[in-house]
Amino acid sequence: MPRRILDRANTVLDRWLPEQRLFLKSEDATRFVRLRPTTQAVTLFAAGMLFLWSVIATSLLFIDGISSGGAREQAAIAKAQFETRLDILARQRDQRAAEAVAAQNRFQLALEQVSQMQSQLLASEERRRELETGIDVIQATLRRTMAERDEARTQLAAAKGTGAQSAATLSAKIGDMGGTVDLLASALTRTASQRDRAARDAESARQEADQAVLERRLIEERNDEIFDTLEGAVQISMEPLDRMFKKAGMDPDDIIAQIRRGYSGTGGPLIPAAISTKGMIDPDEDTARAEGILRRLDEMNLYRIAIDKLPFAMPLRGGYRFTSPYGYRWGRLHAGIDLAGPVGMDVHAPADGVVTEAGWENGYGNVIKLRHEFGVSTVYGHLSKIRVKRGQKVSRGEVIGDTGNTGRSTGPHLHYEIRVGGAPVNPMTFIKAAQDVF
């Protein structure tokens, strides 16, 4: 039965694949091999499948290379956008700070004008009270004088028949009283005019004080708007940085404290100065808010310093494949990740550090170990070339070696480890944490 099926298949395929004979000639004999249609079909099918597998494998490698390049380009674009955003925020911060200083100066000037106007108002009120007191005294004197004049006239009328000498004396007395009354009336008129003028000056000073208070309130509202904008911008910029360090398992407060201790130098000659406490007052609310914004911006700058000191970047730049993750395999811990690529790819330091080892180590082959800040270290294994030496300081992005196939390795790749406090951690924890920022 199988023989019949095979013959029928040969008969059907003979139309497209006729039987072929392969002759093998030697010195004493000639032999041939018959290639039946089914044999030719199986051979062609196997060759086609091999060709199809090669095309698919090549396409996958090509697509993976393109996607890796696209991810790097996106990371570079995101990093450039972040740096541009920080520069814009820095310029806005400087502009807002200048506006705040100018507003503070205008506010101080307005306060001085209000103080001067209040002093003028108090002086006008004092002058008005003095004038009112003088008017009361003059009015009392005038009433008393008029009463004496009326009394003198009465006495004059009663004494008309007593003699010419008495009449002359009374007439002289009445004339003196009339002159005094005229003098008092003139003084009263002049005093009333001064009082009215002082009242007008006081009203003008009161209006100017009200205008200064209004301008002060507008300045305060503008300051509040500026501070709200700055505080919101700083908060939005700080949140991704906080999340990045927390996702990497690092305490942001501890990182900031250590960076601040390392960047706290001061100096310069000191000149004796006499300091007076007169006029010193506690800072107002605007000053406190401005100082808070400056503190947050200082923390942002400390974060940027810390980013250069921690391995948030990838050690390879170019076409590579992620071939093995962090974790256990075959019952043992694979303490890093494997990034496959051709021999000779540049290996970059992902953060500032110091070379602690640079040489051959069993299993790792040519290996480089870097010590970073905050108890973090990195390992780079299976290198084909080492470009640094022990004790050398390296900067973020500096080339330290080339990928290779040394040590216990099945092909050219980079074995990359991150250790915190000497214990290995998953490098993807740091790499993925930075994806939210860069």
For residue 191, the one-letter residue type is: T
347, β-bridge pairs: 316, 401
CA 310 to chain centre: 19
Q: CB under 8 Å to 238, separation ≥6 — which residues?
A: 296, 299, 300, 303
Closest CA to 319 of 232, 413, 239: 413
Closest CA to 250 of 75, 425, 436: 425
Which H helix or E strand runs over 379?
strand 376-386
Angle at CA 374, nearest 5°, toward 235 and 257? 45
Query: How many C-beta atoms surround the C-beta of residue 231 within 10 A?
Result: 14
Closest CA to 243 of 437, 420, 438, 77: 437
Two structure tokens written together for 133? 């007191």
The pLDDT value given to residue 393? 95
Distance CA 202, CA 128 (A): 9
24, β-bridge pairs: 31
pLDDT in tens, 252-305: 788 778 777 777 666 556 566 544 444 445 566 767 777 777 777 777 777 778
> Please, are residues 352 and 395 in contact by the beta-carbon 8 Å criterion?
yes
Q: Following DSSP, what letter does each residue of 313-353 receive, concatenated?
A: S-SB-SS-EEEE-SEEETTEEE-SEEEE--TT-EEE-SS-E
pLDDT in tens, 219-233: 777 777 777 777 777
Distance CA 415, CA 378 (A): 10
The pLDDT value given to residue 67? 63
List strand residue ranges (DSSP E) for 193-326, in order: 321-324
Question: Beta strand pairing status for 376-386 and 332-334?
Answer: unpaired
What's the predicted TM-score (pTM) here?
A: 0.48
CA distances (Å), origin 82, targets 21, 85, 87, 264, 296: 71, 5, 9, 26, 17
User: Can you list the residues of the chain whose pLDDT is less than 70?
Assistant: 1, 67-72, 74-75, 134, 155-185, 187-188, 192, 234, 236-238, 264-284, 286, 436-438
For residue 244, the one-letter residue type is: M
Angle at CA 98, nearest 5°, toward 116 and 284? 55
